Structure 1
Amino acid sequence: MSLINISNLTFAYEGSYDPIFENVSFQMDTDWKLGFIGRNGRGKTTFLNLLLGRYEYSGTIAGSVDFEYFPFVVTRPEELARDVLESICPGCPDWQVLRELSLLQVDGEVLYRPFATLSQGEQTKLLLAALFLKENSFLLIDEPTNHLDREARASVSQYLNTKKGFILVSHDRAFLDSCIDHVLSINKTNIDIQKGNFSTWWENKRRQDQFELAENEKLKKDIARLSSAARRTANWSDQVEQTKLGSKNSGLRPDRGYIGHKSAKMMKRAKSIEARQQAAIEEKAGLLKNIENAGRLQMTPLDFYTQRLVEVGKLDIFYGNRAVCRQADFTIEQGDRIALSGKNGSGKSSLIKLICGEAIAYTGTFRKASRLVISYVSQDTSGLTGSLRDYIRGYGIDESIFKATLRKLDFSRVQFEKDMADFSGGQKKKVLLARSLCEKAHLYVWDEPLNFIDVISRLQLEEVLLEFSPTILFVEHDSQFCKNIATKVVML
Structure 2
Amino acid sequence: MEPIIINDLTFAYPGQKPLFNHCDLNLSSDWKLGLLGRNGRGKTTLFRILQNQLAYLGQVQASLNFGYYPLKIIDPNELVWNNISEVAPQTEQWQVERELNLMATDPALLWQPVKTLSGGEQTRIMLATLFAQNDLFPLLDEPTNHLDQHGRKLIAQYLKQKQTGFIITSHDQHFLDQIIDHTLVIEQHQLILEHGNYSSYFKQKRVRDKDAINSNEQLLKEIHHLKKVQSTKKQWAQRAESEKKNNSHADKGFIGAKAAKMMKKSVIVNNRLNKAITEREGLLQDVETTVPLTINLQPTHLQELLHITDLSLSYPGHSLCSNLSFTANSHDQILICGNNGTGKSSLFHAICGNFTGNQSGEIRLSSKLKVSVVRQDYHHHGTLREFAKYYQLNYADFLNLLRKFGMKRESFNTPIEDMSMGQQKKVELARSLVEPAQFYLWDEPLNYLDTYNQDQLIKLIQTVRPPMLIIEHDQHFIDEIATKQINI
Q: TM-score, normalised by structure 1?
A: 0.80
| Residue 284 of structure 2 corresponds to residue 287 of structure 1 | yes
Seen in structure 2, the aligned counterparts of structure 1 residues 221 and 487 have a Cα distance that, compared at 3 Å, is: same
Shift of 1:338: 1.0
* TM-aligned CA distance change 1:440 to 1:203, over 3 Å: farther
C-alpha contact 2:80 2:113 (8 A) present in aligned 1: yes
Separation (CA, whole Å) in 1 of partners of 2:204 and 2:148: 30
> Which shows bigger deviation, 415-424 or 437-446?
415-424
Q: 2:155 aligns to what?
A: 156
Give, as a single letter, the amino acid of the residue that structure 1 aligns with 2:279.
Answer: E
Match of 2:165 in 1: 165
| Selected match of 2:484 from 484, 488, 491 | 488
Question: How many residues in Structure 1 have an aligned counterpart in Structure 2?
Answer: 473
Q: Distance in 2 between matches of 1:190 and 1:203?
A: 18
Q: Distance in 2 between matches of 1:137 and 1:319?
A: 35
Return the match for 1:304 from 272, 295, 300.
Answer: 300
Amino acid at match of 1:38: G
The equivalent position to 1:316 in structure 2, one of 293, 309, 312, is 312
User: For residue 375 of structure 1, what is the aligned residue in structure 2?
Assistant: 372
Which residue of 2 is the match for residue 406 of structure 1?
402
* Contact 1:182-1:193 at 8 Å conserved across structures: yes
Matches of 1:118 and 1:347 in 2, distance apart? 10
With over 3 angstroms needed to count, the CA separation of the structure-2 counterparts of 1:398 and 1:114, relative to structure 1, is closer
For residue 398 of structure 1, report the CA deviation from its aligned partner: 2.4
- Residue 10 (structure 2) aligns with: 10
Aligned twin of 2:144: 145
1:103 aligns with 2:102: yes
Rounded to whole Å, the distance in 1 between the matches of 2:482 and 2:459 is 13
State which of 340, 350, 359 in structure 2 corresponds to 1:354: 350
- Select which of 435, 449, 457 maps to 1:461: 457
Larger Rg, first or second structure (1 or 2):
1
The separation in 2 between residues aligned to 1:391 and 1:431, in whole angstroms, is 9
- C-alpha distance 333-86 of structure 1, shift in aligned 2 (>3 A): closer
Aligned pairs for 1:314-463 (under 5 A) are 314-317=310-313, 324-358=320-354, 362-382=359-379, 384-463=380-459
SS at 1:379 equivalent:
coil
CA displacement at 1:355 relative to structure 2: 2.7
Give the conservation status (yes or no) of the 8 Å contact 1:37–1:169.
yes
Q: Residues 126 and 276 of structure 1: is their aligned pair in 2 closer, same or farther, counting only changes over 3 Å?
A: same
Q: 1:68 and 1:398, CA in 2 relative to 1: closer, same or farther beyond 3 A?
A: closer
Distance 2:3 2:276 in 1: 38
1:79: Cα distance to partner? 7.4
Percent of residue pairs bearing the same amino acid type: 37
1:310-348 CA-to-partner distances (Å, cap 9, x unmatched) read 222222235579753201121112221111112233222
RMSD: 4.2
Alignment pair present for 1:84 and 2:82: no
- Contact kept, 8 Å, 2:123 with 2:146, in 1: the verdict is no
Any idea what the Cα deviations from partners look like across 1:268-324, whole Å, max 9, x if unmatched?
xx97x98698456424423333x3353221114344324322222222235579753
- Distance in 2 (CA, whole Å) between partners of 1:25 and 1:439 is 44
Q: 1:135 to 1:275 in 2, by over 3 A?
A: farther
Q: Secondary structure of 2:447's partner? A: coil
Q: 1:34-83, CA deviations, whole angstroms, 9 ceiling, x for partnerless residues?
A: 22122333221221121122333222223454433333446686574797
Per-residue CA deviations over 1:362-383 (Å, capped at 9, x if unaligned) read 433433333432222222211x
Q: Contact 2:37/2:185 (CA < 8 Å) preserved in 1?
A: yes
In 1, Cα distance between equivalents of 2:108 and 2:360: 34
Q: Quick one: distance in 2 between partners of 1:313 and 1:391?
A: 37
The structural deviation recorded for 1:87 is 4.4
Q: How has the CA–CA distance of structure 1 residues 280 and 344 changed in structure 2, closer, same or farther, with 3 Å as cutoff? A: same
| 1:58 is aligned to 2:54 | no
TM-score (norm 2): 0.81
> 1:88/1:395 Cα in 2 relative to 1: closer, same or farther (>3 Å)?
closer
Unaligned runs of 5+ in 2: 240-260
CA contact (8 A) 1:84 1:115 kept: no
Amino acid in the other structure paired with 2:220: K
* Residues 193 and 324 (structure 1), Cα distance of their counterparts in 2 relative to 1, 3 Å cut: same
The runs of at least 4 consecutive aligned structure 1 residues that moved more than 6 Å come to: 230-239, 273-277
Moved more, 134-143 or 460-469: 134-143
Q: In structure 2, what is the Cα distance between the partners aligned to 1:83 and 1:10?
A: 35
Gaps of 5+ in 1: 240-262
